[in-house]
Amino acid sequence: MDEQKQKTLDRAKAYIDKLANGYDPFTNEPLEKDSLLNNVRLSRCFFFVSDILQEVIDNGGVVNKGSSSKQNLPKFELQPEQRSLITALDEPILISDLCNKINELANLESMRKLKVTAFGAWLLSKGFLTIVIINDKKHKEPTSEGRNIGILSEWVEYQNRGYYRLKYNKNAQQFLIDNLDEIIQISNGE
């Protein structure tokens, strides 16, 4: 792929990732709660588009029309030198940011990527998150144990619809990094 196309795809993905996580891609400020761009359905759509853009980037800028898929690739793994580069950030971040940071360290051309859903599944299985039902919708919320390790929850509303946005402080990030082997197993379907 030529350099200009690579830059354009990288920029588009960065913009979509910011929007998906509720931030203005140009100012890095949180989007207004009543902003159309902060709608939970649009956020889910942005995450979906981000995944597609990542596949195009991973495939050298080509949309894969063949029958081969990433599922045919080997399972996700990190070498010790890659793992040593994972550090917790001082500011609270979304779990997708941590997952993306880890995926950037791996060679995703030769293996599947680490799934962001594996983090939530692991946290639920260990009792750090729980599912609550609000207005007939399921939401993840930290338990007291989850709050103790540094999982933060904020309620975001848009046009009478809302959801919990979970962020992870430095302690929570480090806790997840320390337990990454188990999370990788879930991501790999083990």
**Domain extent listing, the chain:** 1-67, 69-190
How much is the pLDDT for 82?
92
Listed residue (170, 151, 185, 182) closest to 87, CA to CA? 170
This prediction has a pTM of: 0.62
Sequential pLDDT tens for the chain (190 residues): 678 888 888 888 888 888 888 888 888 888 888 888 877 778 778 888 888 888 887 777 776 554 445 557 889 999 999 999 999 999 999 999 999 999 999 888 888 999 999 999 999 999 999 988 876 777 889 999 999 999 999 887 766 666 778 999 999 999 999 999 999 999 988 7
Cβ 75 vs Cβ 111: under 8 Å: yes
How much is the pLDDT for 111?
87
Cβ 186 vs Cβ 118: under 8 Å: yes
Residue 179 DSSP code: T
How much is the pLDDT for 67?
40
Q: What's the 3-state SS for 45-110?
A: HHHHHHHHHHHHHHCCCCCCCCCCCHHHCCCCCCCHHHHCCCCCCCCCECHHHHHHHHHHHCCCCC
Q: What is the DSSP string of 111-162?
A: SPPPPHHHHHHHHHHTTSEEEEEETTEEEEEE-HHHHHHTEEEEEEEETTEE
CA distance 161 to 115: 26
Q: Which two tokens stand for residue 72?
A: 């045919």
CA distance 139 to 126: 17
CA distance 171 to 91: 10
Read off the pLDDT of residues 35-62 as tens digits, 9 standing for 90 and up. Answer: 888 777 787 788 888 888 888 877 777 7
Say how many C-beta atoms besides its own lie within 10 A of residue 53's C-beta: 18
C-alpha of 176 from chain center: 13
How much is the pLDDT for 158?
64
